[in-house]
A = this chain, B = another copy of it.
Amino acid sequence: MPWFDLSERELAQYRTATAEPDNLDLWWKSRLEEARAAALPPVLTPYGADAYGPMAVWDVEFSGYGGDRVRGWHIRPAGSGDEPLPTVVCYIGYGGGRGLPSEHALLPAAGYAVFVMDTRGQGGRWTLGATPDSGFAGPEHPGVMTRGIATPETYYVTRLMVDAARAVEVAAALDGVDETRLAVSGGSQGGGLALAAAALNGEAVKVCHADVPFLCDFQRAITITGAEPYAEISKFLAQHVDLIPAALDTLRYVDGALLAKRITATSLLSVGLMDEVCPPSTVYAAYNEITAPKEMAVFPFSGHTTPRVHDERKLRHLRAHL
């Protein structure tokens, strides 16, 4: 796939054309307060010692949006006991859930604790999920980008971003987590959630890693790419034309490009100039709003993926800033 979006020079200047809702901070404050009001304490259950041996793993359940119980993993390096550790809260790409601890061993191997948030109602496509979206009995085959899109209060992504913000709060309070050294991290949808969590948790997040992030500059994205998952929205609106104005309004409340200016974490983003799934301009739409210290890793020949060497850059960035 060749370059199809703005030129590199234009990308550096690009600002989203979507206007922020007047009441955005207040609106999110209400969402988070509702969630906190309905929250029960997290439950951590030891998991999988017969497989993982010295690496310590807990199966986590905590309260997310509206008090819904969200699953996750808490994983610590072998032999770290309950020493307070710098901790990375991780979010997962579209269609995936928390998976299994085996998928999250890099950071513990390198000395960090991790807190992996499951993705409600996802997790049947390429890895496992264990969290239903409100009221259902289990994980599903994906297709959630238009669920409840008629209002921001009912929209799936609102619930998911509240979960993401709550995950930071919950992780910060765990034994063995150094609450002054928290990072958020993820790729694609996970990157969009990392940006949202960094924006919604403010100073509580010290480092934000967002690779080829999804959930940014929706209104442009749905007109310049035909690739899913953005295209779930455009295909839906192709039939539900009467919902177009309401849906576009809803998307403003959960747009990473509008939330990004609230980020205070030291940030490292990445972009693939051949990324048709999360087009470069939508990534820059978020990046260009961040006023905190920031870096962009630009991969001129990458699509919707990052090269493996970026793993090491992120590890070095963590060591330098967390």
Q: Which residues on the B side are within 8 Å of A102 (C-beta)?
A: 106, 308, 311-312, 315
A81 sits at the interface (CB 8 A): no
State how many angstroms separate the Cβ of A177 from the closest Cβ of chain B: 18
**Which listed residue, B138, B148, B241, touches A299 by the CB 8 Å rule?**
B241
State how many angstroms separate the Cβ of A23 from the closest Cβ of chain B: 20
Give chain A interface residues in 176-206, CB to chain B under 8 Å.
none
> Could you say which interface size class chain A belongs to?
35 or more
Closest to A140 in B: B147
Q: Is the CB of A2 within 8 A of B224?
A: yes
Q: Is the CB of B124 within 8 A of A3?
A: no
State how many angstroms separate the Cβ of A115 from the closest Cβ of chain B: 16
Oligomeric state, in copies: 6
Q: Which residues on the B side are within 8 Å of A312 (C-beta)?
A: 48, 51, 100, 102
Given known A52-B110, A109-B108, A244-B300, contact A127–B2 (CB-CB < 8 A)? no
Q: Which residues on the B side are within 8 Å of A239 (C-beta)?
A: 123-128, 307-308
Q: Which residues on the B side are within 8 Å of A241 (C-beta)?
A: 299, 301-302, 307, 309
A44 sits at the interface (CB 8 A): no
Q: Is the CB of A311 within 8 A of B226?
A: no
Binds B, one of A24-32, A167-175, A230-238: A230-238
Q: Which residues on the B side are within 8 Å of A139 (C-beta)?
A: 146, 240
Binds B, one of A129-137, A260-268, A288-296: A129-137
Q: Is the CB of A53 within 8 A of B301?
A: no
Binary B-proximity of A99-131 (CB < 8 A = 1, otherwise 0): 110110110111100000000000111111000
16 residue pairs from A and B, CB less than 8 Å apart? A2-B225, A2-B234, A51-B315, A53-B315, A55-B109, A55-B110, A77-B109, A100-B312, A102-B311, A102-B312, A109-B109, A138-B149, A140-B144, A141-B143, A237-B300, A241-B301
